[in-house]
Structure 1
Amino acid sequence: MRTWLSMAGPKALRRFLLAIVLSGGLPVSDSWIASELAGAKGAYAQDDDDGGDDDGDDGGGGRSSASGRGSDRSVGPRRPGSGNFLRGLQRRFLPRQQQRRATVRRPAAPQPPPPSRAADEIIAVGLTIEQAATLTASGFTVVERESLPFAGSDIVKLRIPSGTNIDAARDQVRTAAPEATADFNHYFRPGQDTVACTGTRCPARGLVAWPSGESIPVCAGTPTIGLIDTAINADHAAFTGNRVEVLRLSNEELPESGRQHGTAVAALLVGDLSSTTPGLLPAAKLIAVDAFHRGARQDDRADAYDLIRALDLLAGRKVDVVNMSLAGPANAALEKLVRRVGAETVLVAAVGNKGPKAEPVFPAAYPEVFAVTAVDRRKQAYRRAGQGEHIDLAAPGVDVWTAASISGARPKTGTSFAAPFVTAAAALAKSSGKNSVSEIHDALAKSAEDLGDPGKDPVFGWGLLNARTLCPAPETPRP
């Protein structure tokens, strides 16, 4: 026995002594037994965390390779049978209550949701210098003022007086400037989930009969697409040879937002044909406005102030269509600009991933915006997509193959990745001669494949996008 103990090492000796204690051979307290069992089991536990991924994309989800399989990381050796041995001792000698204390891990406390607005800021469009001076005299501070050339006015960001209720501060601004549009500085966030792809390069394009091959640049021409999203990795191989212009609006002192979401959406729209993630409209010009920054909770957020500036900028550049794969609460100042821009420019937005019972999110819920939901390859509604009477069209949004943030590609899931299909389709419709927003809306609605209840319904809108008729094959000249 002495020889065995000298050769077995401290871990084996500890297990041997623990077995004697549990059998009643040594008088020790029950709490010591429970702690020793928990420690012994923890020494051989295996980390089943599959967070992260191949290029640093967290995407709010788990690790995925190109094939969609997760990868476990072990934090220490696991000895065969050690777990069964300890569990058997626990069941035999410990009371049931102490067994639970020794083995059950308490779940982490739920984290509060990220904030929906800046805690001490009000934004106002159309606030004159004199009105701003009056508010300043009463304790407000002008943080920023920027011109909105397309809207023909200025947008002002105000910090409310210390100790003032933010609702009362908004009312005070509205009273001081009744002709201006004032509201909270709401936050808007990109909407994506990460779901492992069960097949390589899932067939999203075929689901909507998207034209393929060399016919894409021919029928689409060279439209200009506006994108409001997070930061983009413009050096990704998906953008080789493409005309991608990236503009950052957020304050340079704020941390840059992550590149996962913006890179994925941009590649879906204009990815190079020769890359592993060819875009829907590879010949298009993309003006991408990064209106986001990384918040204190490590979430990417665009405040209403920068979102309004981004939309005004793109309207002034006369883009054909604007893609907004983002969502947030209703905002009076944003609504006013959306109403004006949407009369002349096609606006497309994702309906959000908060679930079918959630309240509508904006800008998708504004009447001037094409609201896009997501379906999977079986044409079933994405389980986390929002629903409502405002929904216009459905498009592939589950396991959509697109660019990862640093290099390569991965599947993405969320209504964010359904919106680009409708954005590209709107550009096709405009290239085919549909000049007004209403004409483009009618063309996409009439060609959609009806899903769910007959006609327009709150789950699929008019139905699944069908691009077959939007890009007719060129006529063969008669001999």
Structure 2
Amino acid sequence: MKKRLLRLTALSISGLAAISVDLSFGDGRNPGISGFSLISPAHADDDDDDGGSSGGGGGSSRSSDDRGSGGTWRGGGNLFDLFRRTPEKRTETRRVPVRRPTHAADEIVALGLDEPALQRLETRGFTTRSRAPLGLLPTEIVKLGVPRGMTLDDARREIADAAPDAIADFNHYFEPNENAASSTPCADGGCALVRSAIGWPSPDGTAACTAAGPIGLIDTAINPAHPALKGVKLEIVRLTDEEAPASGKQHGTAVAALIAGRQDSRAPGLLSNAELIAVDAFRRTRGETDLAETYDLVRAIDLLASRKVAVINMSLAGPHNLLLEKTVALVAERNIPQVAAAGNDGPRAKPVYPAAYPAMIAVTAVDRNFKPYRRAGRGDHIDVAALGASVWTAASIEGAAPRTGTSFAAPFVTAAVAILRASNPEMTAEEIARLVTASTEDLGAPGKDPVFGWGVLDASRLCRS
């Protein structure tokens, strides 16, 4: 009888080990059996502690084998009730990541379609949903509805047959590189001083530190009534249809204030007396997500190029798109530097666009200790790192908050480009980009590397005569 009891105890203990139960208090003591819960990897890897940084990816890497064959147990009742269940009756509660569509399901966007080509396509069942002239090219951008039952790949082949010189691709979606507000405390304005970590100059309007303008911004909606933006030279252009739900104001307001916020406000900007032309290319979709279509993003870039801005900031990301690639290349030929955020999908994620295009200055994020932001994208396309963790900037309605993400690192480089452009108006966009990467502190592997690019922006070099 004793031997049987010992065997049962051993099986129970081994079963406990098999489900990887966390048996520790907050102070590190082992409590035995009470006070624990079993958390699935979907929850463990979905935190919003955006203030944290590390050299690798965040979250748990436990596999399903680590959880055993049982379900998620969150305490209460008798622990051994879990072991009495049969595998068939155990159900695991997991939060499955929502996969948003990457493009419109029945649309193609194209450049270079003339009227005869459009007529040929309409006879094959295509519909012209929107069209708009472009300044960068002597043509229009056209949004086409695809015939029912035709795949998008087949639709592109049909367009190639109708107009061999046209550029056609899916109508991809792009999102702002937005994360939740940082949980890092900011007592006594501590986060407002994070820019001092890279020697950001005081925006006192001295001749050596004047920014060229206007500065172009493609983002979500902006709240011009925010105290940090009252009196700022800010022009807002909304590209999407008036009937479409307006995009949220949180992201756009934060980025705009970080660049040009009033110096006497709670969210002072990096530049004083800066002029912004902000294009809202986004719309709010179901699920409270702000998305920009390729059709609107290309038009936004074209509009800013026609306004001859000093630099364009794009704190957004999405898939590779042929029309977007062509557009940013044409803007670079007009010697307008373009800055884009590297994305927050993690260090192992594929490159995102437009940051990964050669014409762009791709910006990743670090914290005030120059440690890489754990969710920042990496790769050979990364050009420069800037502060992007617990950056103090405007909230959407009033006040301010710390924000984290590559979205908030990009404006540092955009502001730096504006300063360098004012001091070197004769330089090309490529020369300005090289000057930015030369104004860095090399970190990581010597020279350019996939984590920091050429290094962390050293703003103390920007305003030298």
TM-score by length of 2: 0.79
1:359 is paired with a residue whose SS is: coil
Match of 1:281, as an amino acid? L
**Aligned residue for 1:353?**
344
Is residue 216–residue 281 contact of structure 1 (8 Å, CA) maintained in 2?
no
**Aligned residue for 1:363?**
354
1:63-101 deviation digits (Å, cap 9, x = unpaired)? 99xxxxxxxxxxxxxxxxxxxxxx88x439x84457999
Whether 2:429 is the aligned partner of 1:452: answer no
Query: Using the alignment, how far apart are the partners of 1:123 and 1:198 within structure 2?
Result: 45
Whether 2:277 is the aligned partner of 1:287: answer yes
1:352 and 1:389, CA in 2 relative to 1: closer, same or farther beyond 3 A?
same
Where do 1:263-342 residues align within 5 Å? 263-342=253-332
Q: Indicate the larger mover: 268-277 or 200-209.
A: 200-209
State the Cα distance separating 1:150 from its structure 2 match. Answer: 2.9
Larger gyration radius, structure 1 or structure 2: 1
1:337 is paired with a residue whose SS is: helix
State the Cα distance separating 1:282 from its structure 2 match. Answer: 2.7
Where do 1:3-402 residues align within 5 Å? 90-91=77-78, 95-97=81-83, 107-194=93-180, 195-200=182-187, 201-202=190-191, 203-215=193-205, 219-343=209-333, 344-402=335-393
**Aligned residue for 2:459?**
467
Calculate the aligned-residue CA RMSD, in Å: 2.3
State the Cα distance separating 1:296 from its structure 2 match. Answer: 2.5
1:207 and 1:171, CA in 2 relative to 1: closer, same or farther beyond 3 A?
farther
State the Cα distance separating 1:204 from its structure 2 match. Answer: 2.6
1:156 and 1:444, CA in 2 relative to 1: closer, same or farther beyond 3 A?
same
Is residue 151–residue 312 contact of structure 1 (8 Å, CA) maintained in 2?
no
Is residue 444–residue 466 contact of structure 1 (8 Å, CA) maintained in 2?
no
Q: Indicate the larger mover: 148-157 or 316-325.
A: 148-157
Match of 1:273, as an amino acid? Q
Query: Using the alignment, how far apart are the partners of 1:154 and 1:208 within structure 2?
Result: 43
1:324 and 1:95, CA in 2 relative to 1: closer, same or farther beyond 3 A?
closer
Query: Using the alignment, how far apart are the partners of 1:126 and 1:62 within structure 2?
Result: 46
State the Cα distance separating 1:301 from its structure 2 match. Answer: 0.4
State the Cα distance separating 1:339 from its structure 2 match. Answer: 0.6
1:247 and 1:358, CA in 2 relative to 1: closer, same or farther beyond 3 A?
same
1:224 and 1:213, CA in 2 relative to 1: closer, same or farther beyond 3 A?
closer
Match of 1:468, as an amino acid? S
Query: Using the alignment, how far apart are the partners of 1:206 and 1:118 within structure 2?
Result: 43
Correspondence for 1:417 among 381, 398, 408: 408
Query: Using the alignment, how far apart are the partners of 1:95 and 1:197 within structure 2?
Result: 40
Query: Using the alignment, how far apart are the partners of 1:428 and 1:361 within structure 2?
Result: 27
Query: Using the alignment, how far apart are the partners of 1:327 and 1:391 within structure 2?
Result: 14
State the Cα distance separating 1:170 from its structure 2 match. Answer: 1.5
Percent identity over the alignment?
50
State the Cα distance separating 1:283 from its structure 2 match. Answer: 0.8
Q: Which runs of 5+ in 2 are unaligned?
A: 1-46, 52-74
Is residue 223–residue 320 contact of structure 1 (8 Å, CA) maintained in 2?
yes
1:437-464 deviation digits (Å, cap 9, x = unpaired)? 1221121111200010000111100000
Whether 2:427 is the aligned partner of 1:440: answer no
1:373 and 1:216, CA in 2 relative to 1: closer, same or farther beyond 3 A?
farther
Query: Using the alignment, how far apart are the partners of 1:105 and 1:220 within structure 2?
Result: 62
1:172-209 deviation digits (Å, cap 9, x = unpaired)? 11221111111000001001222312334423311221
Match of 1:428, as an amino acid? I
**Aligned residue for 1:68?**
none
Query: Using the alignment, how far apart are the partners of 2:421 and 2:130 within structure 1?
Result: 37
Is residue 114–residue 297 contact of structure 1 (8 Å, CA) maintained in 2?
no
1:119 and 1:216, CA in 2 relative to 1: closer, same or farther beyond 3 A?
farther
Is residue 253–residue 394 contact of structure 2 (8 Å, CA) maintained in 1?
yes
1:198 is paired with a residue whose SS is: coil
Match of 1:429, as an amino acid? L
1:237 is paired with a residue whose SS is: coil
1:238 is paired with a residue whose SS is: coil
Is residue 174–residue 180 contact of structure 1 (8 Å, CA) maintained in 2?
yes
1:342 is paired with a residue whose SS is: helix
Match of 2:382, as an amino acid? I
1:162 and 1:285, CA in 2 relative to 1: closer, same or farther beyond 3 A?
same
